[in-house]
Every structure is written in structure tokens, then in C-alpha cells.
């Protein structure tokens, strides 16, 4: 349903909530006016308990289509996004087959996504051994940057880079002014901690993915950034012990940014039951003290963004080994609930919604160079979410829109819920989402 205006007591303009009427035209914000201004056409008025924020820009989502569409696909993932206030997502280059490591891989993605998008979707490329010559053509074709691993990714068709390969890829990416995004766990450290037998105990899983694995890899990323001048981004930071390293690198002026995820900010290892693969992800969820340090680092600006790292699989993969956490597929499915979960957890720590929106919309949009997303300004895309603190969110995994009813957030309650999501002036009814076709996005230089 296309709307012409939205009126609210709390609209996030810059970093403040103010009463306003947003006038929308041709998918964009045409004007920001006083709340009492007259509106012709369809007006959405929201209750006084509701906050209008820029739509969430989630730069870390594994859609898995084509190739592993039985795990997740464009239709189900973008419906989950729309229901959770996410108006733009950027799809990761792996778990789909083929991976997005060649132009043909990108074309396969674009083809598979056609007419299946409820929100706007862009694509990351991948840097793997032997595809150096494909990076610039992918960049020119509109990918937002390149993901690489420094340890096995979990799927054979997307191998990690070794030290020389990583430096070569960074050098190439620096040459054309691209962006490298890194899964930062070190293969050598992980090998040294590899368990000799399976275990259903979360504590054993944690021991197999120690802080040192993140530290060693992040050191390598920082050194590579300094050496090559490439712009780099640390994906899904879990270990707070790496924060000093990151802060020093930023103080030095290196072009480095960092993200963390809702599950690292909402959960703690002490509370995770054994044999519960819905909480398994790599790097792992660590203890409560670590979690609070991540919140501090967000406040201090050492961590820049919060993204879902939504990475679902089917029940067979999540249940592999009957609760053995070494065998189960790693990945948390938080796309639909991430914003509400983080907003509630932030409020418990006296952190306002405007800062949450910065981390989840503005800063992620800026990482991807999407200047028309992640903010409420005249002329930008009318991508908005209405977050109502007068409504409660009770998470029931069987009612989430992503493909499989498995979620670490199952059963939780949050004091605030996304009630409307607006994609380029199209209001999606979150109770009965209609198919508003999202667009495929290309990087704008």
C-alpha cells in the first residue's frame, strides 16, 4: 500500500526525535513538515508510543539462494526482514551455490532474486583462493565489497585465504578502492584447540573457538590494512579482548570498521543450555562480562555497526550429531527480531533508540556507501520503520517468517515491536505482508 505521508510525535531526524509529518513522493521523502501540516492523500498516523526510525540496513545476511534454498531463500528472508523493520539487506557471497566469487555467480544470484524481494537487496562478492582476477569485474558490476575467511568457512566451495592470498587480495582491492570484509578467526589457533571428540556441552564448544583465534586474525587484518592501505571491516566481532587492538588501529587512522551482532549483545554463554545448536555460531557467544564490554565499545564508537549475521539452515543441519555442537551447523537466525531485541537490551542499559538506529541503519548504510538509505532526510528513499514501545513482541519461532522455525530468540519477550515497515513509500502490513517488490541494489561509487 503506497502512502503519501506519515505523521508521528517521534520522528528521528539527525539524532533527535521530533514531532513531524513526512511527506513522501515517488518513493522518496519529499518534505519534513510540522506535524499539524495538511496532507492530501493517504496519511499514516501512528500512536504517541511509536517511534519512526529509518529502516534497518542489515549488511550481513545469508540468503543461501540459489543452491541451498532449502535453508533460506529470497522470499522468506526478505519477508522476515520486512516484518522486523529491515528495509535493506546485503546478501553474503557464501552458502549459496554457486558462491558470489565470479561474475557468473553474481548473475546467478541476481537471476534467483528476481521478483522475490519484499525489501531492497544488494550483494557482497567473495575473495577466495584463485579468484583475484574476478574482483574488479565484480566491483564494477556493483557488489559492495568482498568477504573472505582466514579459517574454514563451513562450506567447501568457499575456502579461506592463506596469509599470502590475503595480502594479495587486499593489494588488489586497494588498487581499485574496494572494501574487504573479514571473518576474523585464525586457522592455526582453531587447529590448536580442535577437540578430539564431540560434545554437547556449550562450554566445550566455547573452548574450541577461543578469544585468541579472533585476536590473531584481527592482528592480521590490521597489519594488512596498514601494509596495503585497503579499507577493511571486521565481521561479527565477539571477543571483547580484541577491542584494545581495534581502538589502537582506529586511533592510528587506519581505514578499519567493526560490527557485532544482536546475539552477542543479548545472550551470555553461562545461560546457554547444552545441546542447543540454535545458539551455535562462529565466533561463539561469550560470557556476560564480555557482552557488557561490547556494549561499552558501541557507546565509545569502537564498534560501528550491529548486523544480524542471519544464517539459517534446516533442522537436519542444525540437529546434526543430535546436539553435538561440533557437528551442528553454525548460524543464528535473528533477522526478524534483531532490532527489537537490541532496542530493548539497549533501553535496559539506558541507551536511547537514536543510538541503536545509528548502529543498525545509518552506520551500516554508510559502510556500504548507500547514501540514500539509513537516514530520514529530504530526498532520500522513504525507507522507514515504526517501532511501538506500547506493543510487546513475544517471539515464537514457529511464527517467524524465515524458512525454518529455529531461533535462539524463541520464547523471549521484548517491550517494543515493529508495527509498520515502509519500503520506498510502500507500507507493508506486518500482519499480512503483501508482496511489495524490493529492488536489487548496486553499489554507487
* Nearer of residues 21 and 64 to Zn ion, judged by Cβ: 64
* Cβ atoms of residues 314 and 71 within 8 Å: yes
Q: Find the part of the chain contacting Zn ion (CB under 5 A) among 8-16, 19-27, 307-315, 408-416.
A: 307-315
User: Is the CB of 309 or the CB of 317 nearer to Zn ion?
Assistant: 309
State which residue, 185 or 309, has the beta carbon closest to Zn ion.
309
Select from 65-73, 79-87, 301-309, 334-342 the region that touches Zn ion (CB under 5 A): 301-309
Q: Is 120 in the site for Zn ion (CB under 5 A)?
A: no
Contact indicator for 56, 339 with CB cutoff of 8 Å: yes
Would you say 224 or 330 has its CB closer to Zn ion?
A: 330
Site for Zn ion, residues 310 to 349, rule: CB under 5 A: none
Q: How far is the CB of 62 from Zn ion (least distance, A)?
A: 6
- Report d(CA 194, CA 326) in Å as an integer: 10
* Of residues 259, 264, 279, the one with CA closest to residue 345: 264
395, three cell numbers: 517471539
Enclosing H/E stretch for 205: helix 202-208
Closer of 211 and 309 to Zn ion (Cβ): 309
Q: How far is the CB of 147 from Zn ion (least distance, A)?
A: 8
Q: Which residue is nearest to Zn ion (CB)?
A: 309
Shortest spacing between CB 309 and Zn ion, in angstroms: 4
Nearby residues of 87 by Cβ (< 8 Å), 6 or more positions away? 54, 55, 56, 57, 81, 119, 120, 373, 383, 384, 385, 421, 422, 423
Stretch that binds Zn ion, among 50-58, 221-229, 304-312, 425-433 (CB under 5 A): 304-312
d(CA 19, CA 31): 14
Nearest to 127 by CA among 88, 171, 90: 171
- Cβ distance to Zn ion smaller for residue 214 or 309: 309
Give yes or no for residue 309 binding Zn ion (CB under 5 A).
yes
- By the rule CB under 5 A, 185 interacts with Zn ion: no
- Nearest distance in Å: CB 281, Zn ion: 8
How far apart are the C-alpha atoms of 314 and 442, rounded to whole Å? 30
Q: Where are any strands of DSSP class E within 100-186?
A: 120-123, 125-126, 146-149, 179-183
Residues near Zn ion (CB under 5 A) are 309
Amino acid at each position: 500500500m503506497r502512502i503519501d505521508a506519515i505523521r508521528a510525535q517521534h520522528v528521528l531526524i539527525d539524532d533527535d526525535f521530533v514531532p513531524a509529518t513526512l511527506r513522501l513522493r515517488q518513493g522518496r521523502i519529499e518534505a519534513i513538515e510540522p506535524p499539524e501540516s495538511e496532507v492530501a492523500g493517504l496519511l499514516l498516523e501512528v500512536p504517541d508510543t511509536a517511534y519512526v526510525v529509518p529502516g534497518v540496513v542489515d549488511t550481513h545476511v545469508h540468503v543461501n539462494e540459489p543452491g541451498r534454498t532449502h535453508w533460506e531463500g529470497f522470499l522468506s528472508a526478505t519477508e522476515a526482514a520486512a516484518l522486523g523493520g529491515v528495509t535493506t539487506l546485503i546478501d553474503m557471497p557464501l552458502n549459496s551455490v554457486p558462491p558470489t566469487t565470479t561474475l557468473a555467480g553474481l548473475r546467478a544470484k541476481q537471476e534467483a532474486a528476481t521478483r522475490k524481494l519484499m525489501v531492497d537487496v544488494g550483494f557482497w562478492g567473495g575473495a577466495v583462493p584463485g579468484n583475484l582476477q574476478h574482483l574488479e569485474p565484480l566491483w564494477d558490476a556493483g557488489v559492495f565489497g568482498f568477504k573472505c575467511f582466514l579459517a574454514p568457512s563451513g562450506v567447501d566451495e568457499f575456502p579461506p585465504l592463506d596469509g599470502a592470498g590475503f595480502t594479495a587480495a587486499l593489494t588488489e582491492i586497494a588498487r581499485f578502492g574496494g572494501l574487504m570484509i573479514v571473518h576474523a578467526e585464525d586457522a592455526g589457533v582453531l587447529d590448536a584447540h580442535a577437540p578430539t571428540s564431540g560434545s554437547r556441552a556449550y562450554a566445550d564448544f566455547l573452548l574450541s573457538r577461543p578469544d585468541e583465534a579472533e585476536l590473531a586474525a584481527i592482528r592480521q587484518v590490521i597489519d594488512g590494512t596498514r601494509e596495503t592501505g585497503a579499507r577493511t571491516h571486521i565481521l561479527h566481532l565477539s571477543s571483547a579482548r580484541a577491542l584494545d587492538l581495534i581502538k589502537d588501529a582506529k586511533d592510528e587512522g587506519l581505514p578499519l570498521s567493526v560490527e557485532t551482532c544482536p546475539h552477542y549483545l543479548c545472550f551470555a554463554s553461562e545461560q546457554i543450555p547444552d545441546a542447543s545448536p540454535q545458539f551455535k555460531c562462529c565466533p561463539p557467544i561469550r560470557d556476560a562480562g564480555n557482552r557488557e564490554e561490547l556494549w561499552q565499545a558501541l557507546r565509545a564508537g569502537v564498534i560501528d555497526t550491529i548486523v544480524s549475521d542471519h544464517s539459517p539452515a534446516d533442522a537436519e543441519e542444525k540437529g546434526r550429531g543430535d546436539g553435538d555442537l561440533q557437528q551442528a551447523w553454525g548460524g543464528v537466525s535473528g533477522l526478524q527480531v534483531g532490532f527489537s531485541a537490541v532496542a530493548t537490551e539497549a533501553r535496559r542499559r539506558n541507551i536511547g533508540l537514536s543510538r541503536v538506529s545509528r548502529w543498525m541503519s545509518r552506520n551500516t548504510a554508510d559502510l556500504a556507501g548507500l547514501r540514500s538509505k539509513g537516514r530520514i532526510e529530504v530526498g532520500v528513499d522513504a525507507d522507514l520503520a515504526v517501532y511501538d514501545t506500547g506493543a510487546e513482541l513475544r517471539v515464537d519461532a514457529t511464527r517467524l517468517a524465515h524458512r525454518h522455525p529455529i531461533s535462539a530468540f524463541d520464547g523471549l519477550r521484548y517491550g517494543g515491536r515493529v508495527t509498520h515497515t515502509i519500503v520506498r513509500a510502500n507500507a507493508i502490513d506486518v500482519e499480512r505482508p503483501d508482496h511489495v517488490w524490493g529492488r536489487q541494489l548496486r553499489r554507487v561509487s
